[in-house]
Amino acid sequence: MDDAVRTILLLAIAAALMTVLAAMAAWWFDPPRRLERKLTKLMGGQPDAVVVGAARGQAAGLRLASQAVGVIRNFEDPGLVFDLDDLIGAELFFDAQMAARIFRGEQRRALDNIAPSAGRVTIRLVFEDLHHPAFELDVWTPGDDPKNGSPEQAVVLARNWFTRAESVIRRPLATHAAPVR
């Protein structure tokens, strides 16, 4: 009788331990967390602003301490890091319609409709780089898993991230003094 109780107790403890380990693994490998960890490693520290398209493995981050913008195009992508001054433009799309636009040296198109209902939310970043001039991040697309948020949450996230990108683009370029000879 004591052996049966001991065996049942050990099985219950083992089952509880396996449940905890499975929950921890699910949390650790959750796509948004994986992408944020990857951005943190890529940028050399915690980004100040992050936007994630978890279903497609896309992410972008701004880190003011290192004056960098990091982008990840898909889960296998090692990522790219750009200087903040290389970010020359950003556009925000709701259902393939441009909602806002800012480019360095051009008139901005302000975001008029701040709370639209949208089925697709996209942020497009434009860089002064010949090899990687633009990056489109689909924050939400039709068919995305509702456990990763909702279209309304994606609109708010994209709008906030666009606003940060806009403040970076509107600031004066860093002037680099010529070396004294």
Q: Give the pLDDT confidence of 65-94 residue by residue, as tens digits.
A: 889 999 999 988 899 999 989 999 999 998
Provide the pLDDT for residue 89: 92
The answer to whether 49 and 18 have CB atoms below 8 angstroms apart is: no
- What pLDDT is recorded for position 82? 94
Predicted pLDDT of residue 115: 60
The pTM (predicted TM-score) of the whole model is 0.76
Beta strands (DSSP E) in the chain are 49-53, 58-63, 68-72, 80-83, 87-94, 97-103, 121-127, 134-140
Q: Which residues of the chain have pLDDT under 50?
A: 176-181
The residues pairing with 62 across neighbouring beta strands, listed in sequence order, are: 49, 69
Q: What is the reported pLDDT for 176?
A: 43
- The share of the chain scoring above pLDDT 90, in percent, equals 28
